[in-house]
A and B are shown apart, each in its own frame.
Chain A
Amino acid sequence: MKPLRQLSSKTLVLDQDNIDTDQIIPARFLTTTSRDGLAAAAFADWRFDEQGRPKADSPLNAPTAQTCEILVAGDNFGCGSSREHAVWALMQFGFRVVISAKIADIFRANALKNGLLAIEVDRDTQRWLLAHPGAELNIDVTECRLDLPGNGAGTELWSVTFELDPFARTCLLEGVDALGYLLAQSDAIAEFEQRREAA
Chain B
Amino acid sequence: MSQTLFDKLWNAHIVQAETEQAPALLYVDLHLIHEVTSPQAFAELAARGLKVRCPERTVATMDHSTPTWAADLQGQRRYASEQAWEQVRTLMENCDRHGITLHDWDSPNRGVVHVMAPELGLTRPGMTIVCGDSHTSTHGAFGALAFGIGTSEVGHVLASQCLLQRKPKTMRIRVEGELGPGVTAKDLVLHVIGKVGVDAGTGHVIEFAGSAIRALDMEGRMTVCNMAIEAGARAGLIAPDQTTVDWLRGRAHCPQGEAFERAAVEWLALASDTDARFDRDVLVEADEIAPSITYGTHPGMVVAIDQAVPHAADATAARALDYMQVEPGKPLLGRKIDVVFVGSCTNARLGDLRSAAEIMRGRRVAQGVRMLVVPGSEQVRKAAEAEGLDQVFRDAGAEWREPGCSMCIAMNGDRVAPGQTAVSTSNRNFEGRQGPGSRTFLASPATAAACAVAGHIADPRRLDGEPEVHIHFPAPRHMEARP
Interface residues of A, Cβ cutoff 8 Å to B? 15-18, 20, 22-23, 26-28, 30-35, 45, 50, 74-76, 79-85, 87, 102, 104-106, 109-110, 113-114, 165-167, 170, 177-179, 181-183, 185-186, 188-189, 192-193
Contact = CB atoms under 8 A, between A and B. Distances in A.
A192 B11 CA distance: 12
A145 B150 CA distance: 27
A98 to B, nearest CB: 15
Contact of A165 (B23, B39, B430): B23
Contacts of B81: 31
Interface string B216-257: 000000000000010011100000000000000000000000
A166 B18 CA distance: 12
Report, nearest first, the 5 A-B pairs whose CB atoms are least far apart.
A110-B150, A84-B150, A33-B39, A82-B148, A113-B152
Interface in B388-425: 409-411, 418
Interface string B1-39: 000000000000001100011110101000000001101
Interface string B295-328: 0011000000000000000111001000000000
A87 B25 contact: no
B23 A167 contact: yes
A177 to B, nearest CB: 7
A105 B37 contact: no
B49 to A, nearest CB: 11
Contact of B150 (A28, A87, A192, A193): A87
9 contacts: A16-B319, A17-B316, A23-B432, A30-B65, A31-B65, A31-B80, A113-B150, A179-B159, A185-B160
A70 B65 CA distance: 33
Contacts of A50: 418, 436-437
Nearest to A166: B21
Given A81-B133, A166-B20, A182-B162, 4 more contacts: A27-B411, A33-B86, A110-B153, A181-B22
Interface residues of B, number: 69
A179 B153 CA distance: 9
Contact of A113 (B50, B153, B198): B153
A26 B433 CA distance: 7
A193 to B, nearest CB: 8
Contacts of B90: 33
Contacts of B432: 22-23, 26, 45
Given A18-B198, A32-B87, A76-B199, A83 B37 contact: yes
Nearest to B412: A31
B27 A82 contact: no
Given A22-B428, A192-B27, A82 B156 contact: no
Nearest to B16: A188
Contact of B199 (A26, A102, A193): A102
A27 B409 contact: yes
Contacts of B36: 30-31, 83
A58 to B, nearest CB: 13
Among B44, B160, B411, max chain A CB count under 10 A is at B160
B436 A32 contact: no
A182 B87 contact: no
Nearest to B204: A105
Given A189-B25, A189-B160, A82 B316 contact: no
Nearest to A178: B164
Given A27-B410, A84-B151, A106-B150, A189 B428 contact: no
A33 B164 contact: no
B155 interface: yes
Given A182-B159, A182-B162, A31 B232 contact: no
Nearest to B298: A18
B166 interface: yes
A79 B234 CA distance: 10
A160 B417 CA distance: 46
Contacts of B155: 179
Among A15, A182, A186, max chain B CB count under 10 A is at A182
B68 interface: no
A45 B410 CA distance: 14
Contact of B298 (A20, A83, A177): A20
B410 A189 contact: no
Given A31-B411, A167-B164, A84 B430 contact: no
